[in-house]
Chains A and B, each alone.
Chain A
Amino acid sequence: MTVQDLISRCHFTPVVLADPEREVSGCYVGDLLSWVMGRAQAGNVWITIMTNVNTVAVGSLADVSAVVLAEGVTLEQPVIDCAEARGVNILSTDLPAYETAVLVHSVI
Chain B
Amino acid sequence: MKELSLNILDIAKNSVKAGADTVEIALTETEDQLEIRISDNGCGMTPEFLASVTDPFTTTRTTRKVGLGIPLFKLASEQTGGTFHIESRDQAAHPKDHGTVTAATFMKNHLDFTPLGDVISSVVTLIQADPDIRWVYTHTMPGKEVRLDTNELKAVLGDVPLNIPEVIAWITDYLREQYETA
Contact of A32 among B2, B56, B71 (CB under 8 A): B2
B54, closest chain A residue (CB): A53
A42–B121 alpha-carbon span in the complex (Å)? 32
Contact check, B71 vs A57: say whether CB atoms are below 8 A apart: yes
Interface residues of B in 9-36 (CB under 8 A from A): none
B75 near A: Cβ within 8 Å?
Answer: yes
Per the CB 8 Å criterion, the residue count for chain A at the interface is 15
B136 at interface (Cβ–Cβ under 8 A)?
no
| Interface secondary structure of A, over-half rule | helix
Residues of B within 8 A of A32 (CB): 2
How far, in angstroms, from A27 to B71 measured CA to CA in the complex?
Answer: 25
Q: Determine if A61 is an interface residue (Cβ-Cβ < 8 Å).
A: yes
Which among A33-41, A67-75, A100-108 touches the partner chain? A33-41
Number of chain B residues whose Cβ lies closer than 8 Å to a Cβ of chain A: 13
Q: A57 contacts B2, CB within 8 Å?
A: no
Q: Is the CB of B64 within 8 A of A61?
A: yes
In this complex, the member of B1, B2, B66, B68 whose beta carbon has the largest number of chain A beta carbons within 10 angstroms is: B66
Q: Is the CB of A57 within 8 A of B1?
A: no
Q: Is the CB of B71 within 8 A of A54?
A: yes
| A79 to B55 CA separation, bound complex (whole angstroms) | 11
Inter-subunit contact B68/A86 (CB<8 Å): no
A53 touches B2 (CB 8 A): no
Provide the bound-state CA to CA distance between A60 and B57, in Å.
Answer: 10
Which of B6, B55, B64, B65 interacts with A53 by CB under 8 Å? B55
Residue A64 at the chain B interface, CB threshold 8 Å: no
B72 touches A33 (CB 8 A): yes
Flag if A53 contacts B72 (CB, 8 Å).
no
Task: From A54, A56, A58, A61, name the one whose CB has the most chain B CB atoms within 10 angstroms.
Answer: A54
Query: Which residue on chain B has the smallest CB distance to residue A59?
Result: B66
Known: A33-B68, A60-B66, A61-B66. A54 touches B2 (CB 8 A): no
Task: List residues of B whose CB falls within 8 A of some A CB.
Answer: 1-2, 6, 55-57, 64-66, 68, 71-72, 75
Please give me the 7 A-B residue pairs with the lowest Cβ-Cβ distance, nearest first.
Answer: A57-B56, A34-B1, A57-B66, A61-B66, A54-B71, A54-B56, A34-B72
16 cross-chain CB contacts under 8 A: A34-B2, A34-B6, A34-B72, A53-B56, A54-B56, A54-B68, A54-B71, A54-B72, A56-B56, A57-B56, A57-B71, A58-B68, A60-B66, A61-B66, A82-B57, A86-B57
- Extra contacts besides A34-B68, A61-B64 (18): CB < 8 Å: A32-B2, A33-B68, A33-B72, A34-B1, A34-B2, A34-B72, A35-B2, A37-B68, A53-B55, A53-B71, A54-B56, A54-B72, A54-B75, A56-B56, A57-B56, A57-B68, A57-B71, A82-B57
